[in-house]
């Protein structure tokens, strides 16, 4: 049967229903999915050494099998031993619990053999090696071996074997980039790059493949964002004029002095609002930098001129907190009566009243979740949309709001996730970016400490001191349930241990992403209200929730989180007048990494994000799903030369008036990227 990119994996030789199910667990269902499943890293066995020159470590030899035999030893363990010779010397090969090995090796045949050469029972041997006939195309030996992301019951060796069957398909992949870009940038053809990323013939070829695919990733994102910006520039939004008297009144009534960054950012926003070109600005600010105040000033100016503002938050509890904060800050301007909340848990008659106030214009600032664009709402005079922790406001969402407004609207996005400049340039090329780097005076840095698992009980005693003083504690775990693959405490396990043993005299709640939305809201509301002492959770509490009474953040297995993510989490504590503490409880007794040590010494989210990007890539900042969604799997975003070249090529594509329709594969990719509505 002829195979194409849409063919199901179970039609490939060697893939039955069981193996297909394991691939499906990784989201791989078709030939195209597997081709697009790039290795995570590589192990180099490409240098073939003579047996006489073997040194401890990873090795590859080409040798003949002289003899092979297997036997069972104590407790049912099976050992296969073989002798291989290449004319310079002989070496012992040892496999554990692979009883099929002896019968699978042909005496006198020449093999490539790759494995670890190490001391075993006081003699050196190659342990658990891969062995392939030297006459075949080597997949697991004598080459640079790709190592893939795995799931239970699936090995890199199996993935390599099945992927090899797709090499003929890879060689027919259609080119995505225009010929003038490929030649001008001296890029490897796409089909060759895909084959080399899976089966590199040399380090040089692997480097060229990574350069090609990395360039394409950045080019695609840059082109998608620049096209969005170009289309946005054609639209007309209402002019919101700057009112100096109102701005001064607003600032004078704040209970604190604005930082220099807040003043500069507010001024840029106010200038944007005076133009007919719709504002599309992202305000990045570390935890506690005062993003909401800047947004409130923009809303106040819109309200003064009779316009409406919609503020969208990712959760109900955050929407409620914003409503409370903004109502207070707008009260001195007599705008507090013009503020309304719209969330799913409200009663039908409350929603109906809010809808009516919006339609008549009596409500000028509406705060809610995505209900604001999904529900049947009519705005009287919508001009400004503020999105909290929704880094990319997608084409579909913008069109829905514009349809409700009857025209283009100004968009202001807020995020507490520090984004390194190189990543922001690529991912948010259509946005103007403002950064609030300064923290308001008086905010105490959270004391961060790495804790060995041997000191768990002493840590619990420290936490109890805070709890007994009337404060609260977050406990964050990397998993919801116990895993056979990952050695880390789960939220369910810690909740059970705390409830029955370690903190049985305290009120404890459990929160994770698989719970129903209404249950999550209830638990979080109880914690905010102080009805719970401890909240055991996964990272669902990462975004924006303000619990001033919480002073302790305990993070289980911090090595499994990104630096930027941990920095976000510790920003949940120390938000009141009391000192905040963040404890990083290691899952093993190994020395903490450079990454985790950086958290102890730095409270600068932007520096930490740069370090995370350098060490772990964009997935560390946005999670695996998001980085995959953005297709940033190969590009090294610290490579300024590559980023600049790819962005310039995207600009040139537009300036040449190239038609996307002339490049079907590229057109399909760009449309997908333009449609991304959320990174959260």
pLDDT value, residue 14: 85
pLDDT value, residue 206: 95
Interatomic CA distance for residues 84 and 65, integer angstroms: 5
pLDDT digits (tens, 9 = 90+) for 475-502: 999 888 765 445 678 889 999 999 999 9
Which residues make Cβ contacts (< 8 Å) with residue 222, sequence separation at least 6? 426, 429, 646, 647, 649, 650, 651
Residue 544 has pLDDT above 60, yes or no: no
Give me 221's structure tokens: 């994102």
pLDDT value, residue 415: 84
Q: What is the mean pLDDT of the chain?
A: 87
Beta bridge partners of 63: 111
Residue 677 has pLDDT above 60, yes or no: no
> What is the number of residues in the chain?
680
Interatomic CA distance for residues 637 and 190, integer angstroms: 20
Q: Residue-wise over 505-523: b if at least 16 C-beta within 10 A, else e?
A: ebbbbbbbeebeeeebbbb
Which of these CATH numbers, 3.65.10.10, 3.40.50.620, 3.40.50.300, 3.20.20.100, describes 244-274+290-415? Answer: 3.40.50.300
pLDDT digits (tens, 9 = 90+) for 115-172: 999 988 788 999 999 999 988 778 888 889 999 988 888 988 899 999 999 999 999 9
CATH 3.40.50.300 fits 447-602, yes or no: yes
Interatomic CA distance for residues 505 and 569, integer angstroms: 25
Angle at 35 between CA 31 and CA 38, to 5 degrees: 145
Q: Is the Cβ–Cβ distance between 27 and 148 less than 8 Å?
A: no
Interatomic CA distance for residues 253 and 306, integer angstroms: 21
Residue 1 has pLDDT above 60, yes or no: no
Q: Is the Cβ–Cβ distance between 437 and 261 less than 8 Å?
A: yes
pLDDT above 90: percentage of residues in the chain? 52
Least confident of 45-54, 217-226, 426-435, 649-658: 426-435
Residue 531 has pLDDT above 90, yes or no: yes
Average pLDDT over residues 593-609: 84
pLDDT value, residue 360: 94
Write out the H or E segment, with its range, that includes residue 31.
helix 31-35
Interatomic CA distance for residues 238 and 399, integer angstroms: 16
Residue 65 has pLDDT above 80, yes or no: yes
Q: Residue-wise over 563-590: b if at least 16 C-beta within 10 A, else e?
A: bbbbbbbbbbbbbeebebbbbbbbbeee
Residue 514 has pLDDT above 50, yes or no: yes
Strands, DSSP E only, in 21-137?
41-44, 57-72, 78-85, 90-96, 110-120, 123-133
Beta bridge partners of 435: 284
- CATH number assigned to the domain covering 47-142: 2.40.50.140
Same fold yes or no, 47-142 and 447-602:
no
Residue 627 has pLDDT above 50, yes or no: no
pLDDT value, residue 631: 65
Q: Where are the domains of the chain?
A: 47-142, 244-274+290-415, 447-602
pLDDT value, residue 626: 47
pTM exceeding the 0.85 threshold for the entire prediction: no
pLDDT value, residue 676: 62
Give me 59's structure tokens: 């090795």
DSSP string, 557-620: SGGGS-HHHHHHHHTTSS-SSSPPEEEEE-SSSSPPPHHHHHHHH---HHHHHHHHHHHH-THH
Beta bridge partners of 490: 479
Q: 288: phi > 0 → left, psi -120 to 50 → alpha, else beta; which?
A: left
Q: Is the Cβ–Cβ distance between 630 and 618 less than 8 Å?
A: yes
Nearest to 141 by CA among 63, 41, 53: 63
Interatomic CA distance for residues 402 and 281, integer angstroms: 17
Interatomic CA distance for residues 613 and 565, integer angstroms: 12
pLDDT digits (tens, 9 = 90+) for 373-396: 876 788 999 999 998 876 555 556
Q: How confident is the model at residue 110 (pLDDT cuts 50, 70, 90)?
A: very high
- The larger pLDDT score, comparing residue 540 to residue 623, is at 540
Cα separations (Å) of 451 from 409, 456, 619? 49, 7, 25
pLDDT digits (tens, 9 = 90+) for 393-405: 555 666 677 778 8
pLDDT digits (tens, 9 = 90+) for 253-301: 988 889 899 999 999 999 999 999 999 898 988 766 788 899 999 999 9
Interatomic CA distance for residues 320 and 529, integer angstroms: 13
- DSSP reduced 3-state for 664: helix
Q: How confident is the model at residue 594 (pLDDT cuts 50, 70, 90)?
A: confident
pLDDT value, residue 619: 60
Least confident of 163-172, 356-365, 522-531: 522-531
Cα separations (Å) of 77 from 71, 95, 96, 137, 648? 9, 11, 7, 32, 60
Give me 149's structure tokens: 């992301």
Cα separations (Å) of 610 from 152, 250, 420, 619? 33, 35, 5, 13
Residue 240 has pLDDT above 90, yes or no: yes
Q: Is the Cβ–Cβ distance between 218 and 204 less than 8 Å?
A: no
DSSP string, 506-554: S-EEEE-TTS-HHHHHHHHHHHHTTS-SEEEE-GGG-S----TTEEEEE
Write out the H or E segment, with its range, that includes residue 628.
helix 619-630
The single residue listed with the structure tokens 């006939």 is 133
Residue 463 has pLDDT above 90, yes or no: yes
Least confident of 236-240, 314-318, 584-588: 314-318
Q: How confident is the model at residue 624 (pLDDT cuts 50, 70, 90)?
A: very low
Q: How confident is the model at residue 572 (pLDDT cuts 50, 70, 90)?
A: confident
Residue 246 has pLDDT above 70, yes or no: yes
Cα separations (Å) of 23 from 17, 619, 625? 10, 21, 17
pLDDT value, residue 314: 80
């Amino acid at each position: 049967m002829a195979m194409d990119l849409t063919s199901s994996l179970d039609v490939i030789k060697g893939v039955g229903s069981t193996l297909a199910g394991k691939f499906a667990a990784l989201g791989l269902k078709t030939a195209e999915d597997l081709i697009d499943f790039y290795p995570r890293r590589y192990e180099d066995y490409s240098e073939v050494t003579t047996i006489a020159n073997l040194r401890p470590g990873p090795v590859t030899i080409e040798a003949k099998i002289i003899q092979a035999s297997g036997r069972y030893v104590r407790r049912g363990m099976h050992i296969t031993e073989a002798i291989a010779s290449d004319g310079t010397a002989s070496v012992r090969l040892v496999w554990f619990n692979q009883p099929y090995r002896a019968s699978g090796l042909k005496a006198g045949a020449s093999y490539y053999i790759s494995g670890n050469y190490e001391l075993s029972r006081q003699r050196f041997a190659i342990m658990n090696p891969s062995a392939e006939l030297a006459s075949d195309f080597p997949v697991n030996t004598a080459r640079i071996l790709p190592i893939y992301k795995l799931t239970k019951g699936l090995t890199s060796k199996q993935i390599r074997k099945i992927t090899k069957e797709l090499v003929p398909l890879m060689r027919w992949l259609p080119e995505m980039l225009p010929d003038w870009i490929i030649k001008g940038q001296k890029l490897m053809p796409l089909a060759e790059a895909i084959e080399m990323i899976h089966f590199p013939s040399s380090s040089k070829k692997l480097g060229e493949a990574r350069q090609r695919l990395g360039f394409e990733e950045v080019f695609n994102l840059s082109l998608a964002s620049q096209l969005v910006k170009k289309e946005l520039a054609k639209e007309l939004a209402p002019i919101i004029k700057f009112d100096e008297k109102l701005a001064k009144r607003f600032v004078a009534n704040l209970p604190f002095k604005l930082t220099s960054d807040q003043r500069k950012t507010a001024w840029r926003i106010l200038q944007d609002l005076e133009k007919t070109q719709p504002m599309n600005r992202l305000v990045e600010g570390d935890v506690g930098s005062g993003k909401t105040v800047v947004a409130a000033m923009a809303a106040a100016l819109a309200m003064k001129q009779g316009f409406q503002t919609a503020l969208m938050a990712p959760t109900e509890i955050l929407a409620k907190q914003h409503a409370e904060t903004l109502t207070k800050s707008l009260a001195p301007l007599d705008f507090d009566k013009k503020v309304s909340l719209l969330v799913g848990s409200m009663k039908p008659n409350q929603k109906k009243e809010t809808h009516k106030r919006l339609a008549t214009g009596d409500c000028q600032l509406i705060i809610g979740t995505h209900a604001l664009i999904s529900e049947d709402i009519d705005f009287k005079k919508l001009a400004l949309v503020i999105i909290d922790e929704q880094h990319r406001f997608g084409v579909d969402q913008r069109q829905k709001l514009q349809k409700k407004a009857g025209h283009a609207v100004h968009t202001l996005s807020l995020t507490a996730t520090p984004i390194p400049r190189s990543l922001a340039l690529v991912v948010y090329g259509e946005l103007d970016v403002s950064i609030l780097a300064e923290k308001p005076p008086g905010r105490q840095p959270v004391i961060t400490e790495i804790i060995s698992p041997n000191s768990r009980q002493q840590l619990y005693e420290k936490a109890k001191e805070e709890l007994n003083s009337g404060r609260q504690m977050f406990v964050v775990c990397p998993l919801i349930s116990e895993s056979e693959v990952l050695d880390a405490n789960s939220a369910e396990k810690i909740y059970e241990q705390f409830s029955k043993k370690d903190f049985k005299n305290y009120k404890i709640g459990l929160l994770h992403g698989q719970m129903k939305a209404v249950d999550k809201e209830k638990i979080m509301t109880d914690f905010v209200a102080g009805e719970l002492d401890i909240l055991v959770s996964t990272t669902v509490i990462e975004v924006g929730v303000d619990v001033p009474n919480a002073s302790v953040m305990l993070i289980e297995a911090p090595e499994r989180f990104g630096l930027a993510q941990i920095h976000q989490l510790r920003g949940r504590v120390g938000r009141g007048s009391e000192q905040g503490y963040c404890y990083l409880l290691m899952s093993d007794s190994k020395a903490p990494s450079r990454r985790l040590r950086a958290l102890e010494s730095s409270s600068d989210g932007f520096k930490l994000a740069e370090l995370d990007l350098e060490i772990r890539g964009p997935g560390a900042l946005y999670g695996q799903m998001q980085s995959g969604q953005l297709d940033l799997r190969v590009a090294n975003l610290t490579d300024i030369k590559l980023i600049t070249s790819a962005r310039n090529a995207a600009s040139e594509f537009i300036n040449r008036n190239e038609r996307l329709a002339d490049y079907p594969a590229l057109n399909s990719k760009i449309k997908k990227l333009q449609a991304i509505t959320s990174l959260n």
